[in-house]
Amino acid sequence: MADGTDIISLVSPRPQSRWRPWLLLFGFWTVIALFSALSMYLNALSEDEKRSLRQSLAYSLPEFWLWFVLTPVVVFLGNRTARASWGRFALVHVPASLVLGVVHGATTLTVLYLTAGRPPSPTWTLPHLLKVELIYQAHLAVLIYWAVLGVSRGADSHRRLRDERLRSTQLEQQLTQTQLQALRAQLQPHFLFNTLNAISALALSDPPLARVMISRLGDFLRLTLEDDQQQHVPLRRELEFLDCYLGIQRVRFGDRLVTDFAIDPDTLDACVPHLILQPLVENALQHGLLRLAEGGTLRVAARRHAGQLHLTVEDNGQGLPLGAIREGVGLGNTRARLEALGGSALGMRKGADGGTCVEMSLPYRAATA
C-alpha cells in the first residue's frame, strides 16, 4: 500500500474515476474550511470585532487546503507503519507530526501575513507573527495530524476486515461447491453399478430387454452430461432426469411399477440441487418395491408453502425396518448435500400405505433463465 493509488484509498477504496478520490478529499477539507470560517465570523460578531466573512475565508481556506496536500502524506506514513510495532509506530509518527505541525503552522501564518494587507503597525512583522502564533498553530496541526492518522488507520482496518470477510465467504462457497461436486460424483458410480447389474441379469434371460435398458441408460447419461457443470436446475429439468431414469426402471419392473406424480404447477420453476430426486427414487425402488412380487406404486409430489419447497418420494413397499435406520449411499448423500446447502431438511416416516415416505424441504428460489 505504498503507491499513490493506495495513499488515497482512505477517500475511496473502490477504483472509480482517476480524479474522484482527489475531488472528494478536496471537497471534504473545503467544507471544513467553510464551517471554520463561518464559526470565526460569528464569533467576531459576538465580540464586536471588525472582521468580515471574506477575511475569515482568507484565513480558513489556506489553512485547510494545506491539509488537502498533507493528508496523503499522513496516510502514506500510516500505511508504511501499519504492521510495525508500537515503538516503531511512535518513532515515525511523533517526529512526523511535530515536523508537519510546524510546517503547516508556518505556511498558514505566512499565507495569512501575505494576504491580510498591510500590517497594523511597523512592529507587526512576519517573524513577530510567527513568534506569537506558531506554537498555537503547530499545536492544532499536530492534533489534526493524529486525527487524520486515526481515521485513515480505522478506514484501512475496516477495508481489510471487509476484504477478509469477502475472501472467507468466497472460500466457504468454493468449499461448499467442491463438497457438492464430490457428493454428486458419488451418485453416478452408485447408480451405474446398480443399473449395470440389472442389465447383466437380463443379458442372458431377456437380451432384447437388456438392449432397451442400455438405450435408456445412454439417454440418461446424455442428459447428465449436458448439465454436468450445474449444481442447481429448475424442478422441471430435474423431473426430466427422473422420468428418463424411471424409463430404465420401467423396463426392469415392467407392469409391476406404477408411478404417480403430483407436481403443483407453481413449483416447476423452483431451483433444486441437480440429481436430488433420483437417489431417493432409486432407494425406494431398491429397498421398497423390488422385492415385492406384485410390485407397487411410487409417488413423487412437489408443493410450495410458506416460502419452502416440499418434495416427497413415497412408496407402498416393505416399509421402514425395525430398529435404527441405516442410511445407504443415496439417502446419506442426499442428506449431506442438503446440509451443505443450508436451510434444508430431510426426514423419513412411515407412508400412508405402509411403505416409506421421504420428505425434503428447502427454501423456494426461482431458477434463473
Measuring CA to CA, how many Å separate 210 from each of 239, 254, 278, 281? 24, 13, 21, 21
Dist. CA 1–CA 152, nearest whole Å: 13
In the chain, the amino acid numbered 3 is: D
| Nearest CA-CA partner of 96 in 141, 134, 54, 37 | 141
Burial (CB < 10 A; 0-12, 13-18, 19+), residue 175, is exposed
Contact 253, 218 (CB under 8 A): no
Contact 272, 238 (CB under 8 A): yes
The predicted structure's pLDDT at residue 178: 53
Dist. CA 345–CA 363, nearest whole Å: 10
Helix runs in the chain, H state only? 4-7, 20-46, 53-80, 86-115, 126-205, 207-226, 235-253, 278-284, 329-341
The predicted structure's pLDDT at residue 11: 41
* φ/ψ (deg, to 5) at 243: -65, -35
Measuring CA to CA, how many Å separate 289 from each of 134, 246, 282? 95, 13, 10
Residue 352 DSSP SS3: coil
What does DSSP assign to residue 270? B
Which residues are CB-contacts of 27 (< 8 A; sequence separation ≥ 6)? Answer: none
* Grid cell 437417489 in the structure block, residue: 279
Residue 48 DSSP SS3: coil
What does DSSP assign to residue 366? B
* Grid cell 400412508 in the structure block, residue: 352
Dist. CA 362–CA 335, nearest whole Å: 12
Residues in the chain: 369
323: left (phi over 0), alpha (psi -120 to 50) or beta: left
Burial (CB < 10 A; 0-12, 13-18, 19+), residue 205, is exposed
117: left (phi over 0), alpha (psi -120 to 50) or beta: left
Question: What cell numbers appear for 316 in the block?
Answer: 407402498
Residue 267 DSSP SS3: helix
Contact 276, 337 (CB under 8 A): yes
Q: Per residue of the chain (369 residues), give pLDDT as tens.
A: 444 444 444 444 444 567 888 888 888 888 888 888 888 778 777 776 676 777 778 778 888 888 888 888 988 888 888 877 888 888 888 888 889 888 888 888 887 777 765 444 455 677 766 777 788 888 888 898 999 888 888 888 888 888 888 777 666 655 555 554 554 554 456 667 777 887 887 787 888 888 888 888 887 777 767 766 677 889 998 898 888 888 888 887 888 889 999 999 999 999 998 888 888 888 888 878 877 878 789 999 999 999 999 999 999 887 776 555 556 666 777 787 787 777 788 888 888 777 889 999 999 998 875
